[in-house]
Amino acid sequence: MKRLSRGTIITIFVVLMVVIDQVIKILIKTNMTLGQSIHVFGDWFQLFFIENNGMAFGMQFGGVIGKAILSIVRIILVVLIFIYIKKLLKKQDTPMGVLIGLAAIMCGAFGNIIDSLFYGICFSESTFTELATIFPENGGYAGFLFGKVVDMFYFPIIDTTWPTWMPFVGGQEFVFFRPIFNWADSCVSVGTIYLIIFHWKFFQTSLSTEKTDNHSIE
């Protein structure tokens, strides 16, 4: 049996991650109302449906103009990573782990790009009382580039209150982990952490080699 090339493996990986991300989001958006939660494992793992206009983990970024800029920046990032992966694939000594880590970041960014580009066109608006529908007769809730990103994974592993004797935060609620995120966010985070922990030497060596080559050309 013919062995799959590294390029084919990376392609399959990216397609699989993006499909998983979109299937989860579509199921959540068409079966849950905003703010609805489903307890998967007790209180500490919930599917909690929210949408955001901004960055990963529900962070916001600059209103309408910021949303457009963020979408464009994501597209540029995906293109640059794609070009870099193609470059690394030509080098036989590139570790497979480096390619997988970069691919995870790329497909994570791409997954959220899909939301921004098409969800506003393809879905009716999700509300706290009504489910969204796909391809509504009256059109979607927003234009191209302005769709909202669907988030759903919530892990409030610790949900308590700060002791009253603590300054500034005493008596206030403390939740860890508070951000609600999606599969695409996970791909970006896991890919980044994996590369930093296990492959930082590769990028350090690559950077040093490029500097040396540039000096030689000069």
The vertex-138 CA angle with 20 and 182, nearest 5°, equals 20
* Residue 188: predicted pLDDT: 95
CA dihedral 30, 35, 36, 40 (to 10 degrees): 110
The reported pLDDT for the residue numbered 211 is 53
Residue 212: per-residue pLDDT = 55
The pLDDT of residue 6: 94
pLDDT in tens, 100-126: 999 999 999 999 999 999 999 999 999
pLDDT for 206 equals 73
> Hey, which residues are catalytic here?
151, 185
Specify the pLDDT at position 164.
Answer: 87
Q: What does the buried/exposed string (b/e) look like for 47-72 if buried means 16 or more CB atoms within 10 Å of the residue's CB?
A: bbbbbbbbbbbbeeeeeeeebeebbe
Give the global pTM. Answer: 0.85
Task: Name which of 45, 47, 53 is nearest 69 in CA terms.
Answer: 53
What string of pLDDT tens digits covers the 218 residues of the chain?
678 899 999 999 999 999 999 999 999 999 999 999 999 998 889 999 999 876 554 455 556 677 778 788 889 999 999 999 999 999 988 999 999 999 999 999 999 999 999 999 999 999 999 999 999 999 999 988 889 999 999 999 888 888 888 888 888 888 888 899 999 999 999 999 999 999 988 988 776 665 555 545 55
Q: What is the distance between the alpha carbons of residues 9 and 99, in angstroms, rounded to a whole number?
A: 10
CB hemisphere CA count around 104 (13 angstroms): 18
- pLDDT tens profile 32-45: 999 999 999 988 89
